[in-house]
C-alpha cells in the first residue's frame, strides 16, 4: 500500500519540506532505510543519519534546525516520535480492517454471539454465552471460556486463554500466550501442615484501551474482580495476583510481579523485575525502579528503588557516598594521624 507525503502530512498534522508527491510503501530505521521507505528522527544521537539516509520521507520535529541539506522530503511536526506512533497505529488499523471472517475449524457454542466484521482464526474455542464485539480479531488457538465478553475493536493474539466469566473491554490488545483469569494463589494452612485450596470464584475485568504483553498472567479474584483499569499498559511476563487493582494509564515493565489485593493508583510507573507485596497501596504517580522490592504502601508521587525499596533521591545520595568511601577512609586516617601528633606535642609541651 502506497502513501504520498501529502497524505501522511494530513494524518499527522505536519508541514512538508520537499516533494509532496514523494511516495512510500513501508517503514525503515533512519540508519538503514531504502528509497520508498518512511522514517523519523526523534533522538539527537541519530542526527548524522539524517544527512546520509536513503529514506524518501522523514518525520522530524518542527523546531529541528538542519546543519546541511537533506535529500529526503521532510514532514515537520510538534513531536516526531508521537507522530510516527500515530502513523504506525493508522497503518496497522488499515491492515487489520482487511482481516475478517471465520476460519475453519473452530468451536463456537450455540449460545455464543459475535458482532460485525470480526475475525476468528482456526482452532479458536468460544464457550457458552460468549459475546464478541464488532471489529474484534481473535487469532488462531485462542480459548474463550464460558460467559466471557470481549468488546469492540479488540485484538486477541494467538494462544491467549480467557477463563470463564472474564470481561475484556473495547480497544484492548492481548498478546500471544497470555492467560487471563487463572486461579489466584489461595491456600489455607491446615493443622497437619497441608494446604486447603480456597476456591477462586471471582473474575478479571479489563477496561478499555488496555494492552497486555505476551506470556503475562492475571489471576482471577477470590471474590469480586481483579481489575485492570482503562489505559493501563502491561509488558511481557508479568504476574498480577488475585484481587489486584491496576490504575488508569499505569505502566508495568517485564517480569514484574504484584501480590494479592494490592491497589495500584493511576499513572504509576513500575520497572522491570520489581516485586510488590500484597495488601498495600501504591499512590497515584508513584515510580518504582527496576528490581525494587516494595514492602509497604507508597504515597502519591513517591519514587523508590532498592530491595527493600526506599526513597530514590536518598538512594542516589547513598550511592554517591559509597563511591567516595576510599577517599573518605584516607582522609579519616590523615585526621587520626594529625590528632595523634597534636596530642603528642601537647603532652610533651
Cite the active site residues: 242
Of the candidates 30, 13, 21, which has an alpha carbon nearest to the alpha carbon of residue 83?
Answer: 13
Which residues, at least 6 apart from 265, have a Cβ–Cβ distance to it below 8 Å? 247, 250, 281, 282, 283, 284, 285, 286, 300
Q: How far apart are CA 211 and CA 235, in angstroms?
A: 8
CA nearest neighbour of 302 among 289, 293, 319: 289
Q: Which residue shows C-alpha cell 504484584?
A: 258
- Grid cell for residue 9: 502530512
β-strands 101-102, 303-305: how paired?
unpaired
Neighbours of 307 (CB within 10 A): 13
Q: Which of 139, 14, 173, 169 is nearest to 86 (CA)?
A: 14
Residues 6+ apart with CB under 8 A from 201: 222, 223
**Strand 310-311 with 303-305, pairing:** antiparallel
Helix segments in the chain, DSSP class H: 5-12, 47-50, 80-97, 312-323, 325-348
Question: How many helices and strands in the chain, by DSSP H and E?
Answer: 5, 40
d(CA 307, CA 274): 9
The pairing of beta strand 287-288 with beta strand 269-270: parallel
Amino acid at each position: 500500500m502506497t502513501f504520498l507525503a501529502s497524505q501522511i502530512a494530513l494524518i499527522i498534522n505536519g508541514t512538508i519540506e520537499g516533494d509532496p508527491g514523494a511516495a512510500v510503501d513501508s517503514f525503515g530505521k533512519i540508519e538503514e532505510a531504502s528509497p520508498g521507505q518512511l522514517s523519523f528522527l526523534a533522538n539527537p544521537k541519530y542526527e548524522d543519519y539524517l544527512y546520509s539516509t536513503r529514506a524518501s520521507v522523514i518525520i522530524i520535529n518542527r523546531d529541528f534546525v538542519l546543519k546541511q541539506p537533506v535529500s529526503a522530503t521532510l514532514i515537520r511536526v510538534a513531536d516526531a516520535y508521537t507522530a510516527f506512533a500515530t502513523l504506525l497505529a493508522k497503518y496497522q488499523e488499515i491492515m487489520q480492517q482487511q482481516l475478517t471472517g471465520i476460519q475453519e475449524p473452530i468451536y463456537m457454542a450455540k449460545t455464543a454471539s459475535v458482532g460485525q466484521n470480526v475475525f476468528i482464526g482456526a482452532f479458536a474455542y468460544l464457550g457458552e454465552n460468549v459475546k464478541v464485539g464488532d471489529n474484534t480479531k481473535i487469532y488462531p488457538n485462542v480459548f474463550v471460556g464460558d460467559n466471557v465478553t470481549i468488546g469492540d475493536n479488540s485484538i486477541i493474539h494467538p494462544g491467549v486463554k480467557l477463563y470463564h466469566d472474564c470481561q475484556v473491554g473495547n480497544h484492548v490488545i492481548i498478546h500471544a500466550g497470555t492467560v487471563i483469569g487463572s486461579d489466584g494463589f489461595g491456600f489455607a494452612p491446615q493443622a497437619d501442615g497441608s494446604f486447603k485450596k480456597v476456591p477462586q470464584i471471582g473474575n478479571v475485568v479489563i477496561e478499555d484501551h488496555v494492552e497486555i504483553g505476551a506470556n503475562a498472567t492475571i489471576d482471577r479474584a477470590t471474590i469480586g474482580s481483579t481489575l485492570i483499569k482503562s489505559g493501563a499498559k502491561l509488558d511481557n511476563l508479568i504476574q498480577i495476583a488475585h484481587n489486584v487493582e491496576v490504575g488508569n494509564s499505569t505502566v508495568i515493565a517485564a517480569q514484574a510481579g504484584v501480590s494479592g489485593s494490592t491497589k495500584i493508583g493511576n499513572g504509576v510507573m513500575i520497572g522491570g523485575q520489581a516485586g510488590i507485596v500484597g495488601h498495600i497501596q501504591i499512590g497515584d504517580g508513584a515510580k518504582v525502579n527496576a528490581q525494587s522490592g516494595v514492602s509497604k504502601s507508597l504515597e502519591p508521587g513517591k519514587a523508590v528503588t532498592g530491595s527493600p525499596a526506599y526513597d530514590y533521591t536518598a538512594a542516589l545520595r547513598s550511592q554517591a557516598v559509597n563511591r567516595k568511601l576510599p577517599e573518605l577512609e584516607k582522609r579519616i586516617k590523615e585526621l587520626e594521624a594529625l590528632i595523634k601528633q597534636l596530642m603528642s606535642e601537647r603532652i610533651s609541651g
